[in-house]
């Protein structure tokens, strides 16, 4: 049994089992009659599967013409076909679609008037019924309810019937407060946008000022560099004079020693 169930429930199932649903449909559709005309062989009604073209308007073929590739008019075998195993009249389909869309079609067996019995029912005799005496155990829920209602917070009411009469005024006040809050939020958003714009303008101005300061600093550094270059040239000239004097004195000293 377990082996049989494993084979039947396997995914994918055995190839021989894949034909079972098709064979079942073919067996169940053998006696189904379609009261329509086949556009290929012009048969008034036929049994078996019915095939309807999805391109051609109301073009239908019987099972034999479909499998043999018979066509007529502008229909082609390359057109997409839909298979039907039952027939529903267009009138029923239209009524079903209208009922499904509008939901207002009355049921045929449902009466719109209330149904009353032909004879009145026998009235109940309540004279011999004695009401039950209340006990302490039955009073406990009410006491608990009273304790619960006494512990309610200010502004809370256990039942809608004890709500204040100015409920509508409170609702209107709440709506007005919400409107005011929304307006204030909108004004706050506008102010934030204006502040952002001013901040951007200030940053641009600060940037211009920084650029001017950098230009001035650059000019000062350039002037200082020129002065340093001139001083360097003067020092180089003095160094050359000293070196020449040292060379001359050294040459004279060597000559004197010789």
Q: CA-CA distance, 20 to 16, in Å (whole number)? A: 8
What lies within 8 Å, CB to CB, of 38 at 6+ separation is 46, 60, 61, 62, 65
Q: Is the pLDDT of residue 233 over 70?
A: yes
Max CA-CA distance within the chain?
Answer: 169
DSSP alpha helix (H) spans, the chain: 2-8, 20-28, 63-68, 90-102, 136-150, 167-257
Instruction: Provide the β-strand partners of residue 46.
Output: 34
Per residue in 174-214, pLDDT (tens digit) is: 777 788 888 888 888 888 888 888 888 878 877 777 788 88
Tokens of 4: 């049989």
Which residue is listed with tokens 């199932």?
Answer: 13
| Whole-structure pTM value | 0.34
For residue 26, the domain's CATH number is 3.30.60.90
243 token code pair: 């070196």
127 falls within a domain: no
Question: How long is the chain?
Answer: 258
Domain-embedded: residue 113: no
**Residues 6 or more apart whose Cβ sits within 8 Å of residue 83:** 49, 50, 51
Residue 29 lies in domain: 6-88
Q: What is the pLDDT of residues 45-74, one digit of tens each?
A: 899 899 999 999 889 999 999 999 998 888
What letter would DSSP give residue 44?
S
In a domain, 84, yes or no: yes
The percent of residues in the chain predicted with pLDDT above 90, rounded, is 12
CA pair distance 72, 61, nearest whole angstrom: 10
In a domain, 109, yes or no: no
pLDDT tens across 67-97, in order? 999 988 889 889 999 999 888 776 766 666 6
pLDDT in tens, 144-166: 455 545 555 444 544 444 445 55
Residue 176 lies in a domain: no
- Domain count along the chain: 1
Whether residue 224 is contained in a domain is answered as no
What is the model's pLDDT at position 108? 55
pLDDT level of residue 114 (50, 70, 90 thresholds): low
Question: How far apart (Å, rounded) are the C-alpha atoms in residues 26 and 85?
Answer: 9
| pLDDT on residue 144 | 46
Coil vs helix vs strand at 51: strand
Phi, psi (deg, nearest 5) at residue 35: -80, 55
In a domain, 79, yes or no: yes
Q: Does 256 map to a domain?
A: no
Q: What is the pLDDT of residue 113?
A: 55
């Amino acid at each position: 049994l377990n082996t049989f169930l494993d084979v039947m429930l396997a995914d994918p199932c055995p190839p021989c089992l894949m034909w079972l649903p098709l064979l079942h449909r073919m067996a169940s559709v053998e006696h189904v009659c379609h009261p329509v005309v086949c556009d290929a062989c012009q048969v008034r009604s036929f049994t078996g599967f019915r095939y309807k073209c999805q391109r051609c308007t109301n073009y239908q073929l019987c099972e034999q013409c479909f499998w043999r590739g018979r066509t007529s008019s502008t229909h082609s075998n390359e057109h997409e076909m839909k298979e039907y195993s039952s027939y529903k009249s267009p009138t029923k389909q239209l009524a079903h679609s209208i009922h499904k869309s509008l939901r207002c079609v009355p049921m045929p067996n449902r009466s719109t008037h209330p149904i009353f019995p032909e004879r009145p029912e026998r009235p109940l005799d309540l004279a011999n019924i004695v009401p039950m005496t209340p006990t302490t155990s039955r009073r406990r829920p009410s006491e608990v309810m009273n304790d619960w209602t006494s512990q309610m917070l200010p502004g809370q009411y256990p039942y809608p019937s004890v709500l204040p009469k100015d409920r509508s005024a409170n609702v209107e006040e709440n709506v007005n407060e919400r409107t005011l809050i929304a307006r204030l939020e909108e004004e706050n958003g506008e102010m934030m946008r204006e502040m952002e714009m001013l901040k951007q303008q200030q940053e641009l101005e600060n940037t211009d000022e920084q650029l001017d300061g950098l230009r001035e600093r650059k000019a000062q550094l350039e002037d200082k560099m020129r002065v340093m270059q001139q001083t360097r040239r003067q020092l180089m000239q003095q160094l050359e004079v000293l070196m020449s004097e040292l060379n001359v004195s050294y040459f004279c000293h060597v000559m004197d020693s010789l």
